[in-house]
Amino acid sequence: MKEERLHLLLGVSGGIAAYKMPLLIRLLKKNNVEVKVVLTKAARTLVGEDALRTVSGNTVFFDEISPTYDMDHIRLAEWADLFLICPATANTIAKLAHGIADNLLTTLALSFDGILMIAPAM
């Protein structure tokens, strides 16, 4: 029988702790968790998309339009069992508190109907 894997959507905003996300993903994968990553524009300046793609084994999603993106916020929200925003900056937390969905990460968080965990780091 095939073991079920937890599907974790990892939202990374622009806090300095973003540089630790490759290590977090490695630890999660060792515990049989499949991880897909969504980056904000600010997070992309702090952690390399290539590093995240390599350790997760999945496409890394962000706000720029791509011909391969097709309603990503809906597909990703349906795929995930758990959504973790880590690090969550004060800006991202404030946007979520006020219902502002102006990037892929906040749009996903506001449309996600599963467990949403927020790990503040500023």
Cα of 106 vs its chain's centroid, Å: 10
Angle, CA 89 vertex, CA 48 and CA 66 arms, to 5°:
45
Tell me if 115 sits within 8 A of 77, measured CB to CB: no
Would you state the pLDDT for residue 103? 92
Domain ranges of the chain: 6-120
pTM, 2 dp: 0.92
For 72-86, write each residue's pLDDT tens digit. Answer: 678 889 999 999 999
Tell me if 73 sits within 8 A of 111, measured CB to CB: yes
What CATH number does the domain located at 6-120 have? 3.40.50.1950
Q: In what order do the strands lie in the sheet with 6-12?
A: 60-61, 33-39, 6-12, 82-88, 115-120
For 39-97, write each residue's pLDDT tens digit. Answer: 999 999 999 999 999 999 999 998 765 555 556 678 889 999 999 999 999 999 999 99
Quote the tokens at residue 115: 């467990």
Query: Rounded distance, CA 38 to CA 55, Å?
Result: 14
* 3-state secondary structure (DSSP) of residue 105: helix
Q: Taking all residues of the chain, what is their mean pLDDT, rounded to a whole number?
A: 92
